[in-house]
Amino acid sequence: MADRPTEAQHPSSHGLHAVAAEVALSRLLAAQEAALQAVRPALGAIEAAAEAGATALRNGGRMGYAGAGSSGLMALADCLELAGTFGIMPPQTPMMFAGGAQALLHMTGAVEDDPALAQADFAAARIGAGDVVICVSASGTTPYTMEITRAAQAAGASVVGIANVPASPLLQAADIAVLLDTGPEVVAGSTRMGAGTAQKVALNMLSVLVGIRLGHVHDGYMVNVIADNAKLADRAARIVGAVAGVDRDAAAAALARAGGGVKPAILVAKGADTEAARAALAASGGVLGPALLTSDQRNRAQPA
């Protein structure tokens, strides 16, 4: 373990305990900024991972996440956001987190070494052929995550491996390897820092591209948002208004007619009836852009 870059001493760590707070924070910020630069060389791999995830979801499959400790928390944060942001429901995006919900209140290291726990979590996730599992491990060696990797591939699923150590076992085993080479941490081995930052950014980008590919993002708006609270209901109305070019009242009325669905509400606000709106979206595979073109063409064809 001492040979791992994430366990080595960072140049900015010398005397960290004795410097002024402003100096310590400046060093920490500089290390975080450097970690972000480790994401750029991985853009091609992140794109491949997103395409694989979108394909699995489009075909009715699953895009699962797996990890332990800090890496697991980064994966979990991304996984939990998919339902509200993109309308991708939890059964489609199972989370395999070492220790489960209990570990969120008190993380213990032992759970990440338990292959039986990984096997049980994998079985509960119901991953199978054609699915994708995003496995995240800073070291690329975490036993829990490696066991999930083996189980996923044995079940016919593809594995996206995200790790911060070059040529690590996870990256070597993965079908799509995403290397985020962040190097040593200012606090040696504390991969919640630079490694975690790079992981979070990479996962953000991956899942947003999945949302785009599934047609859940249009002009930067989350057009498949699940409006289950007042803030999101207001956001849904603003999205409908902005994309359809109507005022707040017309947007709210369209949402009501469309049963709260933002995509069909946009088409309704532009003059389609609800049945035609849903038919256009079905024909476009749920992608709003082509459905809008169809709706606009239909409107132009109608006599004045």
**Tens of pLDDT, residues 23-41:** 999 999 999 999 999 999 9
More confident residue, 186 or 219: 219
Residue 59 and residue 176 in one domain:
yes
Residue 93 and residue 113 in one domain:
yes
287: left (phi over 0), alpha (psi -120 to 50) or beta: beta
Per-residue pLDDT at 103: 81
Model confidence at 83, pLDDT cuts 50, 70, 90, reads very high
pLDDT at 211 over 80: yes
CATH number, domain of 277, equals 1.10.8.1080
- The pLDDT of 261-288, averaged and rounded, is 93
- The pLDDT of 179-190, averaged and rounded, is 86
Q: State the residue for tokens 């150590």.
A: 165
- The pLDDT of 206-233, averaged and rounded, is 93
Eight-state DSSP code of residue 299: H
Per-residue pLDDT at 192: 86
Q: List b or e across 267-302, with b for residues whose CB sees 16 or more CB atoms inside 10 angstroms.
A: bbbbebebebbbbbbeebebbbeebbebbeeeeeee
Residue 251 and residue 120 in one domain:
no
- The overall pTM is greater than 0.85: yes
Query: Which residue among 213, 248, 263 closes a domain?
Result: 213
Active site residues: 81, 112
pLDDT at 50 over 60: yes
The CA distance from 177 to 170, in Å, is 8
**Tens of pLDDT, residues 98-147:** 988 888 877 776 788 889 999 999 999 999 999 999 999 999 999 999 99
**Tens of pLDDT, residues 6-15:** 777 777 777 7
Domain membership of residue 102 as a residue range: 7-213
Our count of domains for the chain comes to 2
Kindly state whether residue 1 falls inside one of the protein's structural domains.
no
Query: Which residue among 185, 213, 241 closes a domain?
Result: 213
Query: 55 Cβ partners below 8 Å, 6+ apart?
Result: 132
Per-residue pLDDT at 301: 47
